[in-house]
Amino acid sequence: MNGLFARPDPATRLVLAEAPVLESWNAADHPDQLRLRAYLDGVAEALNARGWAPQEQRTVELVVGVPDSLPTYRGGRDLDNYLYPLARRLGPGHIVAAFGRKTHQPRSTIAVGPAELADQPAGPPQLVVRTSVSTQTTAWKRAIHQACADTVTRPLPAGPVSLRIQLGVSSRRNWTALWKPAIDALGPVLGMPNPALPFRPDDDRIVDLELHRRLDDSLGYDVVVQVWWR
């Protein structure tokens, strides 16, 4: 199934028992990792992920509740760092689209639904780039960054941003592993607090994030990245 996917039915949203936990790169026995695993196990149980059929494809949406006293578009809380560990726990092969939002509300929610195409097609993307270099290298991010710099003359004005990314990949890829490096390459659009660090963009300003998979085995090891922003 290709194309852009619909968000899960809002009626299926579950209120999370605790605040979402960000991805951790610490050692396996670090308290952050233990907290993350406990959180992911709780979410997977609430969603009955163990009962999903092996080939069942799903969409997931996480709405992160932010206290009224804090801005949604500053202070960390990068949406991809909430979504990636969820996709890893639920199974990258199951997840064909992931949606994340940050909004002022007391509790966070999560919803899953069947993989269904959106009723309304999106307009043309602002950025399209096909990469042929290894996704494990800085050269992959550099190719997207350069295409982005060739497309825009300046970053978006300060404030919250909505971002949609579709990744065209072959079925042999774990597409979720491309989420973070693709976003890290969008500094020309999101802004770069330190130009000497081009792959550390101002990405906590993303308050609405969509990540979509498009399967195309003819791509081989190439990846087609399409991006919309506002």
Residues 103 and 132 both lie in one domain = no
Using the predicted structure, report yes or no on whether residue 11 has a pLDDT greater than 90: yes
- DSSP element (H, E) containing 228: strand 223-229
Task: Report the number of distinct structural domains present in the chain.
Answer: 2
Q: Which two tokens stand for residue 85?
A: 């560990």
CATH of the domain at 42: 3.30.1330.70
Q: Average pLDDT of the chain? A: 95
E-strand stretches of 172-222: 206-215
pLDDT of residue 120: 76
Identify the weakest region by mean pLDDT among 58-72, 97-111, 120-134, 164-178.
Answer: 120-134
Q: Which domain covers residue 40, as residue numbers? A: 10-114
pTM reported for the whole predicted model:
0.96
Residues 15 and 101 both lie in one domain = yes
Residue with tokens 């969008």, as numbered in its chain? 186
Query: Mean of the pLDDT values across residues 200-209?
Result: 97
Q: Which of 114, 147, 168 is the last residue of a domain?
A: 114
Q: Which of 65, 84, 114 is the last residue of a domain?
A: 114
Using the predicted structure, report yes or no on whether residue 10 has a pLDDT greater than 50: yes
Model confidence over 65-117: pLDDT tens digits? 999 999 999 999 999 999 999 999 999 899 999 999 999 999 999 999 999 99
Bridge pairing between strands 161-169 and 109-114: unpaired
Distances (CA, A) of 214 to 85, 117, 118: 20, 11, 13
Using the predicted structure, report yes or no on whether residue 125 has a pLDDT greater than 80: yes
Query: Mean of the pLDDT values across residues 12-29?
Result: 94
Q: Which of 114, 135, 170 is the last residue of a domain?
A: 114
Bridge pairing between strands 206-215 and 223-229: unpaired
Is the model more confident about 55 or about 15? 15
Residues 186 and 224 both lie in one domain = yes
User: Using 50, 70 and 90 to split pLDDT, how confident is the model at 1?
Assistant: very low
Model confidence over 105-122: pLDDT tens digits? 999 999 999 999 998 777
Identify whether the C-beta of residue 89 lies closer than 8 Å to the C-beta of residue 130. Answer: no
Residues 158 and 99 both lie in one domain = no
What is the per-residue DSSP string for 164-182?
Answer: EEEEEE-TTS-GGGGHHHH
pLDDT of residue 52: 94
Residues 95 and 32 both lie in one domain = yes
Is the model more confident about 203 or about 3? 203
pLDDT of residue 122: 77
Residues 163 and 215 both lie in one domain = yes
CA distance 68 to 82: 20
Query: Mean of the pLDDT values across residues 158-162?
Result: 96
